[in-house]
Amino acid sequence: MRTEIKSDRLPTAMSMRLLGVMLLALCLPVSALAHIINRVDVQRAGDEAEIVIQFDTTVQYQRHSPLNEGSRLNIYFVVTGIDPDATSSLEEPMLPKDEVFAGATFRYPEPDSSMLVTFPESTKFRVRQGGDARSLSIFIPITAAASAMLTPSPAETESMARSYLEKAKSALSSKEPSVAIEALNSLLNLPANASSQEAQEMIGMAYEQNGENAKARTEYEFYVKTYPKGEGLERVNERLAKLAAIPAAEPTVRLERRQEDTGWQVTGGFGQTRYYGNSSTILEPLRVIICSQDQLDNPALVPANEQCSQTANANAVNPQSTARTDQSALVSSLDLMARSRSGSSDTRFVVRDVDTRYFLHGDSYRSDKNRLNAAYYENSDRELGYMMRLGRQTASGGGVLGRFDGAFAGYKFSQDWRLNGVAGNVVEFGSPHNKTFYGAGIDLLSLPANWSGNAFVIQQDVGSMTDRQAVGFEARYFDPKQNYFAMVDYDTSFAALNIAMFQANWNADAGTTYYLTLDYRRSPVLMLTSVSDVTGMDIGTLVNTIGDRAAREDIKRITPMMTMLSAGLMHPYSEQWQLGGDIQVSNMGATDASQNLPLTAQMPTQYAAQKSTGNTYVYSARAIGSGLFFSNDMTVFSGSYIDAKSTTGPTTYSAQSYAVTHVARPFEGWQFDTSLRLYYQDKSDGEKLERINPSFRALYRLGNNLSFEAEINQEDETIKDGISPGNSNRRYYYAGYRWDL
């Protein structure tokens, strides 16, 4: 590394370190209550800043509102992968206060299942799927000053580099070395990319053509130090030898490594939420009758709304009503991240913990629990090409399913390829199994045609037995108008497919977005430990009894394949309105009867063969209005029709659901969310269900550090004409606060 006197640019390595000092990428801690969001980074993308929201699992972007400007942004997406927590809790990271776009917040989920992004002031934006299936991107115009603080995204870097390189080649061919030098300086100030090595050689040639031999010599010497291997090395050494015979008109510059250190920055927060809920049920009274022997032998012969007894007086009335408090808990969450950036190096310490205290006690209630969801050390260096993470973490692909204690490391051994390795212990709260695993993968980072992907192999053991042994791949295509993602996971120990998934997004010129998902997977994923969960037997004893192969064959027989297809669109009808809809088809496949599993108290009979559930169809439509009542409000109208009349269960049904949600921010720091949901269901046995669900939520932010939130939610349900007609209602409340550093 070196400092160049009188140069038009900083050498590549140094400029990368300065960009890292100013802003390599923002990374945000998120609430430990739910960890679908992993981090939020900011990078430059041309004249815009790209806010990249990274997830712990695969997601698919569907729509956002408002369309292109506002101080609040709702992003709608679906989780298409495995959520290690599978919770519906609040997350609220904030951008560090001394960074670009300070004060922005991210909340998930909202009452309408969206993610809410808020900015300190009204901002123009556009939203799309990120560069892979585990991210979403928000693009925001930035000032020249802010632009200098942001490093470009990898895709933007490669595109800009190719453009600068072509311009430089054309200029050298036209004997315009000064134009070539300017273009090559711009290229070499970008992060390391596929054109960097060629540009480093070419800028020496440009200085030679411009008569600046000392600068040419310095550039060639920097090339030799940076790229000690490759076909260009011989050419550069020949040019250096020729320049050595020419007296230097200018002193050469000594190469030296420069370090910049931002120091440590600690971000995060602590929050507590008190939950309370009560419910009551009133069923239509049952008339007690004296049973006949036939009715005793066959309870189906007892008329509806009557109860059979041999001892009670005939025509006695048995009231059916209950009332109870069914929820009372305090949830405390802590998330902290300490981060230090030194040049191209980035170091982080992350801790996320959730503590839940239950105030309802008894055999039917859960006990208090504490969940350490993350505690890891991470270090990466863009120039050296490595990344490692040690501790409790959540996997983001590579065949690892969910949370684990262990190590993940990757090394970028060329511009296009990275080798990864992972090993650790699976973390499954409440599981009796001690599972260990190790795996490896290789990433193809970029191709000229916008393709990238990876392949992996994973071995997961329980004791000395193979629990899961899988190979798979992910393939991605990404450009500004469309992106595709495909994933396959195949278990070689079961000789069976676990997951095959494809998802796509298209952006039309008129602003219409289209999305498609095809998902075909085992539910649950095949593992040897599943046989212990089914029978209740110790896994070692069970395998010794029936054998490994017999156990795997039965697991495969009784584990169904789930199929889901979803497609939809969203169209900007006007500045205030967006209209859209989608269709979803799903079913659970047929299973065979088990043949080898030993009978136990938990499983007294063999699993019987099950038919496919048949298809369930969901047709949905929605309208999103912005600024209808206030300058910064949003209203969502939605309706769905569910057709499960062709399913194979004992009863089939059809249903309609309707919802309206209004979000308003009438005063500084305040937000009010009001929603009403209606649901109607008709079952094939004649039962009719009606449900009404109003809710109201208030949020208040006091400055940049403290926020408060409270919600009241009521659900009233009426069942008519069925086996158990009656009414039930539930009230649910919560109130909490969060303090951010």
Most confident region among 259-273, 315-329, 710-724 by mean pLDDT = 710-724
Local confidence band at 109 (pLDDT 50, 70, 90 cut-offs): confident
Q: Is the pLDDT of residue 144 over 50?
A: no
- Res 64: pLDDT: 86
Average pLDDT over residues 366-384: 90
- The residue ranking higher by pLDDT, 8 or 662, is 662
Whether the Cβ atoms of residue 37 and residue 50 lie closer than 8 Å to each other: no
Average pLDDT over residues 660-675: 91
Average pLDDT over residues 706-735: 89
Average pLDDT over residues 12-16: 31
Is the pTM of the predicted complex or chain greater than 0.85?
no
Local confidence band at 490 (pLDDT 50, 70, 90 cut-offs): very high
Q: Which of 148, 141, 146 is nearest to 19 (CA)?
A: 148
- Res 20: pLDDT: 33
- Res 497: pLDDT: 97
- Residue 299, φ and ψ in degrees, nearest 5: -60, -20
Kindly state the tokens that stand for 191.
């992060």
Query: Helix-strand-coil percent breakdown of the chain, rounded to 5?
Result: 15, 50, 35
Whether the Cβ atoms of residue 709 and residue 737 lie closer than 8 Å to each other: yes
How much is the mean pLDDT over the chain?
A: 82
Q: What is the pLDDT of residues 182-236, one digit of tens each?
A: 888 878 877 778 888 889 999 999 988 888 888 888 888 888 888 887 778 888 8
- Run of H or E residues at 251: none
CB contact burial 655-668 (16+ within 10 A = b; e otherwise): bebebbbbbbbeee
- Res 730: pLDDT: 93
Q: Is the pLDDT of residue 241 over 90?
A: no
- DSSP designation for 170: H
- Res 345: pLDDT: 87
Q: How many Cβ atoms are within 10 Å of 614's Cβ, its own excluded?
A: 14
- The residue ranking higher by pLDDT, 46 or 690, is 690
- Res 222: pLDDT: 85
- The residue ranking higher by pLDDT, 383 or 411, is 411
- Res 261: pLDDT: 61
- Res 251: pLDDT: 44
- The residue ranking higher by pLDDT, 248 or 509, is 509
- Res 2: pLDDT: 31
Least confident of 53-62, 520-529, 643-652, 722-731: 722-731
Q: Please report where in the chains the tokens 């910064």 appear, as a residue.
A: 632
